[in-house]
Chain A
Amino acid sequence: MRLPDLALVSLTALAPLPAMAGVTEAIREHILPAVEDFSVAAGDLAKTAADDCTAETLRPAYRQAFDAWMGLSHLSFGPLETDGRALAIEFWPDPRGMVARTVAGMTADADPVVDDPESFPEVSVAGRGLMALERLLYDHALSGYGAGDYNCRYAMAISADLSRMAGEILADWREHAELMRTAGAEGNARYMSESEASQVLYTALLTTIEFDADQRLGRPMGSFDRPRPTRAEAWRSDRPLRNITLSLKALRGLAVTLSDDPIPVTEAAFDRALATAGALDDPLLSGVETPQGRLKVEILQQQIRAVGDATRAEIGGGLGLSAGFNSRDGD
């Protein structure tokens, strides 16, 4: 009689708690690899720039770094939010045109801060990161600089700053991962219960699905009477559709690892949206200006919203999570 009891006890002790299994898997298979990839890509960008900061040389490394950034940009809590890192890495959306204004101000004044790596992190977030670098590399009025010119040194400073932030994010994520794994443990003020770690990942997942539909697609769509293709994300470097595809792939990775149960409906919804994005021959989303092109973008938008519905039902339902008692309520 005693033996089975003991066996039962030890089995229970060994079995991972339901909410934590997905978190551990998401950290190991989704988050840390993405954070490491970004730190490598940003490091390559900085090394390339240190050797030769001219636009033509730097563009491939910029594209690699932006691609890698799309693998983790949805992790909008903890390490990415410290000191506004996420916006310092990618200042978008930018309805005020702050990137253009800040970059113009820096170059007009030939602000010497670009030669001082210690002080450069104090530059406004709009004058740093991938969007400021995009201006220098792809805006024809700015990109024709030669080695040693101000813009070249500015591009070098942005690249080094990106590499620094990517390194800090990697170091912080290794610590933060431990906080998430020990959610609910005595003394863990960040995650007060086991379910809070999965809740944060679930919220990041849902928020970014909405961001892809409402911002990445919604901004260039504008209104039917007034489409705004130049409000698309990173259109100067041909990235609007590419970023949506990369974002959906990253979100799919998070969804699959986070859920403890199979999520066939959510996976099918992701695959449908990814197939539509893959078949959309409109990298800049400039088709929003024609009725047919707009319809295609609208279909993609609806399919991304369907991913959100599937996620709520399958993953939220499965983990017993819901989004925002207060954040979805007004007043």
Chain B
Amino acid sequence: MIGRRNFIAALLAGSVVPRLSWADAGSPAILGAAREGDGGYALFGIAADGGDCFRIPLPARGHAAAAHPSAPEAVAFARSPGRFAVVLNCVTGEVLTRLVAPEGRHFYGHGTFIAGGDILCTSENDFGTGQGRIGLWSRSKGWRRVGEIPTHGVGPHEIKHLPGDVLVAANGGYRNHPDRPGVKLDVPEMRPNLAYVSPDGELLEKVELDKDLHLNSIRHIALGRDGLVAFGMQWQGDPALGMPLMGLHRRGEAAVLDRMPVYEAVAMRGYVGSIAFDAERRRVAISSPRGGRVQVFDDTGRHLRAIEREDVCGIAPATRGFFLSDGLGGLMRAGEELHPLAKHRGRAWDHHLVPVMV
């Protein structure tokens, strides 16, 4: 109904093309990719109560998506090292375009919109040199690639943007090569960092952790209040060491690392698959599918609680809590307690849940 009203309103406003909104796609709160019972893959729009808003088939296993800030469009990325991403109209389900990484580049599986939604930024690898790149694609120019800037590090994974379109890149530190999918190169020499980069590619600030943490690959990012950046890490050494796996950083300050009880740190098996703040941006959560655990912290890194859930990985902000998804098809809301929202037989939610901002 709302969709139709918007449609009419757009016509009355005299637009040549009626402008669609996320309401026309059923007002999803989050997007998530999944494998389905028949072995195929799809991107789902999910309402706050856990119900499906839409389902769009994907050509291959997804990793994460980027939701356009206002138009009901999503970019679905294949798993790294993919060379393709698809831009989807979430109202009609049609593929608007396929983004193809240029020669010598592959996608790392994440992206974010800047310039009011006109420029899509994609994390990429220049696999000849191993240097991280952010590809820039213009929506208004038919999704043409309009440039690229450096991430100022190796192996970027998730990228986000702060107010003023300052990009934050998690440079994981190790290299990949499309000829050797799944193989991490140069791990002993890795130097991961968190880099703040202007849209024209200038390095504004670079955060590196202590040398004894250089095997801690910085891979995922969530944004808190007042420029607070939370980052999730994957430890490339012995998981039994129970190293810190979450850090908090604000520009101009030193990074603060999590304070988890040693048994929770060990239970995470050195791996964070996803990170998110709650809707109030007071608490931050990290997930480990390998440990079947979510750890919740306050915004100073103090540990609040652990949630046990098999193969849990996707996390997205919810009011006073988090949406969680797992490889068993479960979708939950974690506030003070864990509330099941939906369980889809045969559906396996992939690594990330992405919030839709409206």
* B-binding residues in A (CB < 8 A): 77-78, 81, 83-84, 86-88, 93-96, 98, 124-126, 189-190, 192-193, 195-196, 199-200, 203, 215, 324-327, 329-331
Contacts and interface: CB of A to CB of B under 8 A. Distances in A.
A78 B306 CA distance: 12
B209 interface: no
Tell me if A's interface is mostly helix, strand, loop or mixed.
Answer: loop
B262 A124 contact: yes
B149 to A, nearest CB: 22
Question: Could you say which of A77, A190, A200, A327 has the most chain B C-beta atoms within 10 Å of its C-beta?
Answer: A327
A125 B263 contact: yes
Given A87-B266, A324-B289, A189 B311 contact: no
Contacts of B240: 93-95, 215
25 contacts: A77-B308, A83-B263, A84-B263, A88-B263, A93-B240, A96-B241, A125-B261, A126-B262, A189-B332, A189-B340, A190-B338, A193-B328, A193-B345, A203-B310, A324-B311, A326-B289, A326-B313, A326-B348, A326-B351, A327-B289, A327-B290, A327-B311, A327-B327, A329-B351, A330-B182
Interface string B1-43: 0000000000000000000000000000000000100000000
B328 A189 contact: no
Contacts of A98: 262
B327 A192 contact: no
B187 to A, nearest CB: 13
Q: Which one of B108, B238, B263 has the greatest number of beta carbons of chain A within 10 Å? A: B263
Nearest to B240: A93
B178 interface: no
Most buried by A among B35, B219, B266, B332: B266
B302 interface: no
B265 to A, nearest CB: 10
Interface in B309-357: 310-313, 326-328, 330, 332, 337-340, 343, 345, 348-351
- From A78, A81, A88, A124, name the one whose CB has the most chain B CB atoms within 10 angstroms: A81
A324 B80 contact: no
Nearest to B181: A330
B262 A199 contact: no
Contacts of B310: 77, 196, 199-200, 203
A327 B339 CA distance: 22
A87 B289 contact: no
Contacts of B267: 81, 84
Interface string B296-314: 0000000000001011110
B157 A331 contact: yes
A324 B261 CA distance: 25
A236 to B, nearest CB: 19
Interface of B: 35, 63, 79-80, 108-109, 157, 182, 219, 238, 240-241, 261-264, 266-267, 273, 289-290, 292, 308, 310-313, 326-328, 330, 332, 337-340, 343, 345, 348-351
A189 B337 contact: yes
Contacts of A192: 328, 330, 340, 343
Given A81-B267, A203-B310, A329-B351, A87 B262 contact: yes
A83 B350 CA distance: 29
A84 B327 contact: no
List 3 tightest A-B contacts by C-beta distance, closest first: A84-B263, A325-B327, A326-B289
A325 B35 contact: yes
Given A95-B240, A95-B241, A331 B340 contact: no
B311 A326 contact: yes
Contacts of A189: 332, 337-340
A330 B351 CA distance: 9
A84 B264 contact: yes
Nearest to A94: B240
A87 B266 CA distance: 9
A174 B337 CA distance: 21
Contacts of A93: 238, 240
A254 to B, nearest CB: 16
Contacts of A78: 308
